Structure formats: C-alpha cells, structure tokens
Amino acid sequence: MNDTRTLRERYEDVRARIARAAEKSGRRASDVMLVAVTKHASIEDIRELVSLGHTDLGENRVQQMVQRAAIIEEFSARRRDRGGSASPVRWHMIGSLQRNKVKQAIEVTRLIHSVDSLRLAEELQDIAEERGSAPGGEKYGPVDVLIEVNVAGERSKHGCAPAAARHLVDMLDTMVALRPRGLMCMAPNTGSIADARKTFTRCKELFDEIRAIGSGGERFDILSMGMSGDYEVAIECGSNLVRVGSAIFGEPKVTDEDGGDED
Ligand SMILES: *Cc1c(COP(=O)(O)O)cnc(C)c1O
C-alpha cells in the first residue's frame, strides 16, 4: 500500500482514532496517552512531530534513545530561545532492558515499560538509589516502571508470566527508588484481532486484580497496550497508553530485529 499522506495527516488520524475508541469505551481522548514510537523514524520526522506539540516518544534501544534525546533536546532548546513554545519531550523505554544499560536508561526515561524480572528490578533499584544519594541527587524522584507481562505465553516474547506479575509488583513496591505504575503487554504475533482482544482482556483483568488487592497503591494506574495494528482494540479493552510507530511514521523501509537491546 502506498501511503501518500503527510506525517501530520497520519498523526492527526491516529489521534482521531484514539479519541473515537476512548469514547466507545466511555472515556475521553485525554484519558489515553499516545507514545509515538520512533525506532524506525528519521530525526527530521521526530522534529516535525515535536513541532506539532507531541511530547511522549518511545524507543526500544537505550543507545538510540540516549542519542536522540540529546538531539531533540537541543532542537527544543533552540525553539525556546527563539521564543517558541516547546514542552520537554518525555522518553519511554519500551524494549527489553539489559542490566548493563540501566544506568544510561534511567538518565533519560520518564517511564520504563519493560521490567520483567526481580533481577532487573533490583539492578534498577541499586542504580537509582546510588543516583539519589550522590551529591545533587535529591532532585530525583523514584523511577516509574511498568511490569511487562507475557500474557499469551509466547516463547519468543519477553515479559514475566501472568501468575508472577502480582508478586513482582509487591517486590517493586518495597523498593524505595522505584515506583510500579502498571502493566505492559503485547498481542501475539498471529496478527489476529481476536487473539489481540483476548490478550488485552486478560491483561486488563490482571491489572484490575492487582489494583483491587492494593498492590502498587494509588499510583498503579497505567495499562500500556496497543500498537499500530491493534491500538483501537486495546483501548476498547481498557488500555490507557498506546505505543504507536508505523501508523504515524509510515512503514519502516528496512526491517530489522525489534527485540530491544540484544547487543
Ligand atoms: C516497535 C514497537 C511498538 C510500535 O510498533 P508499530 O507496529 O510500529 O506501531 C510498540 N511497542 C513495542 C514494544 C515496540 O517494540
């Protein structure tokens, strides 16, 4: 399919679809956060999106996120110098996180979507605590994280088992430098909307169960699910954060491994 629409048109279309899906489930567009996934986007396209006022961006590799955060921050600073308005961009780490990249990751991220083991949580806690107790560290609040759940049980996917999620939330809740904010999941690779709906519904149930028990507390309120092919379904199933790449930036020209920081 040859998509000749401009970036702005695609972005506005996604925003309109989010609003419609939110209304369908009795919510407002502002109840659903849109994270624009920039992993295959050019710097020019990211700048353009930021110029349109978009603030939340997602990457699945720490290295690329750190580099792009610096470039985009410089761009926003220049806009502010010229009297323009440019809200600070907030970066989301959505790919699997390797323990040796934790330090770099927490420097730039607003939310880490991919905590799926106690070991990774402990590494995050140690590094965030170290940062907080260093000179000038008082300014850092706890690091917001989501638990990634492998709801469909696919062997190729990251994420903890659904049955382990609650325990992981409880453990995270005891770590002073971290704050569990919710769950993240992905639909199975089958491409079937029915499968996606089943997965999202199951994840929403798990999310509600954890909230009902009180694990994670009041601020355990983010349910990150939905990508370009299934974000409307995800919202209908209760998602309040969608991660959308190709529907905004177009299909990637080169396909590569999307698994995150495997290097
Ligand atoms: C790439 C990616 C997305 C966005 O995928 P699109 O299909 O391009 O919207 C969302 N979430 C994660 C974890 C990803 O790796």
Q: How many A from CA of 25 to the centre of ligand 1?
A: 23
Q: How many A from CA of 173 to the centre of ligand 1?
A: 28
Measured by CA distance, the residue closest to atom 11 of ligand 1 is 243
Are 147 and 197 in contact by the 8 Å Cβ rule? The answer is no
CA distances from 112 to 80, 85, 107, 159, 178 (A): 27, 27, 11, 13, 10
The interaxial angle of helices 43-51 and 62-81, nearest 10 deg, is: 50
pTM for the complete prediction? 0.94
| Domain extent listing, the chain | 7-248
| Tokens matching residue 31 | 């109840």
For the chain, what is the radius of gyration of the CA atoms? Answer: 18
Ligand 1 close to Cβ of residue 51 (< 6 A): no
Q: How many A from CA of 258 to the centre of ligand 1?
A: 8
pLDDT one digit per residue (tens) for the chain, 263 residues: 578 899 999 999 999 999 999 999 999 999 999 999 999 999 999 999 999 999 999 999 999 999 999 999 999 989 888 887 778 899 999 999 999 999 999 999 999 999 999 999 999 999 999 999 999 998 999 999 999 999 988 888 899 999 999 999 999 999 999 999 999 999 998 889 999 999 999 999 999 999 999 988 889 999 999 999 999 999 999 999 999 999 999 998 765 555 555 44
The interaxial angle of helices 162-173 and 193-213, nearest 10 deg, is: 40
Q: How many A from CA of 205 to the centre of ligand 1?
A: 23
Whole-number pLDDT of residue 252 = 85
CA distances from 192 to 84, 184, 186, 229, 231 (A): 44, 19, 13, 10, 13
CA distances from 230 to 94, 155, 165, 208, 239 (A): 17, 21, 23, 21, 11
Architecture of domain 7-248: Alpha-Beta Barrel (3.20)
Exposure on the CB side of residue 93, measured as CA atoms within 13 A = 31
Pocket test for ligand 1, best of 39, 40, 186, 233 (most atoms within 8 A of CB): 39
Ligand 1 close to Cβ of residue 40 (< 6 A): no
Exposure on the CB side of residue 163, measured as CA atoms within 13 A = 1
Alpha carbon 199 to its chain centroid, in Å, reads 18
Whole-number pLDDT of residue 88 = 86
